[in-house]
Amino acid sequence: MSERDGVARLTRIAPAGTDRDPMAATRHLGGSRSNSTAPRTRSLDAATSAVRHAIELPSGVAQLTPRSAAVERAARELRQVMGRFATGVTVVTTEHRGQVHGMTANAFLSVSLRPPLVLVSLGRSRMSELLPRAGRYGISVLASDQEHFAAHFAGRSISPIAPEFEHRDGLPLLSGALAHVGCRIVDVHSAGDHVLWIGEVSHMHHRDGDPLLFYGGRFGGLAAAGEGDGG
């Protein structure tokens, strides 16, 4: 398979749940947990098993009860509030059966320096199905000229693009990114409708350059951030 072939088959690949792998059921994540007081810290096996047995909630506004409408209102407000927290933008990558899958994520943070741990928080996604099988993920911190990748890996591509990856320590990482982190999953925490994937860093690299930023639901750069009215 040429590198191009790999790129053509990578990412935004088959719709979730279309393969015959029994783990495909893991797409029903988080929001389906009924007991919010359940332990938050689990082993990878326990957490993925919980994910596997989760029940899918009905969707659609018509089915919302008054209480869940309030929950939805609070969720929308929290999204807006958290949108005031400016972040960088990353693409999480992993490889399964020779196929690269990428997903845009800004819920990425450093957890510990000794040992070196990072975390990414993922909701219901194809990536969340793949990670228990891959056991590893890569993080590419996007540069200001990589906004099209952020859209692409969030499923919002307008025109087809062909991202290029470099493999480091057996993990695919997006070429041209400002920083790369490769890690092995060492802990998984179920948290509401998301799962926290903690990874021990096995590879890292960075370069100088301008970051892509995300604020108030929009992409920007450091220059744009400095041009505001300060209010």
Ligand X SMILES: Cc1cc2nc3c(=O)[nH]c(=O)nc-3n(C[C@H](O)[C@H](O)[C@H](O)COP(=O)(O)O)c2cc1C
Question: Which residues of the shown chain bind ligand X in the complex (CB under 6 A)?
Answer: 89, 103-107, 121-123, 125-127, 150, 154-155, 214
Q: Which two tokens stand for residue 92?
A: 């999480």
Quick check: 96 and 130 in contact, CB under 8 A?
yes
Least spacing, CB of residue 118 vs ligand X, in Å: 13
Q: Measured from the CB atom, is 64 or 107 closer to ligand X?
A: 107
Least spacing, CB of residue 15 vs ligand X, in Å: 9
Least spacing, CB of residue 199 vs ligand X, in Å: 14
Residue 25 and residue 81: Cα distance in Å, rounded?
32
Q: Measured from the CB atom, is 193 or 230 closer to ligand X?
A: 193
Least spacing, CB of residue 165 vs ligand X, in Å: 16
H helix and E strand count, the chain: 6, 13
Q: Which two tokens stand for residue 115?
A: 């040992």
Pairing of the two strands 165-168 and 171-174: antiparallel
Stated as kind and residue range, the H or E segment containing 184 is strand 179-191
Q: Measured from the CB atom, is 8 or 114 closer to ligand X?
A: 8
Q: Measured from the CB atom, is 149 or 201 closer to ligand X?
A: 149
Q: Measured from the CB atom, is 126 or 180 closer to ligand X?
A: 126
Residue 79 and residue 82: Cα distance in Å, rounded?
5
Least spacing, CB of residue 105 vs ligand X, in Å: 3
Strand locations in 54-169 (E) = 87-88, 90-96, 99-105, 108-112, 117-122, 136-141, 165-168
Q: Which two tokens stand for residue 59?
A: 């969707």
Least spacing, CB of residue 224 vs ligand X, in Å: 15
Q: Measured from the CB atom, is 50 or 92 closer to ligand X?
A: 92
Helix boundaries (H) for the chain: 3-9, 44-52, 66-82, 126-134, 147-152, 222-226
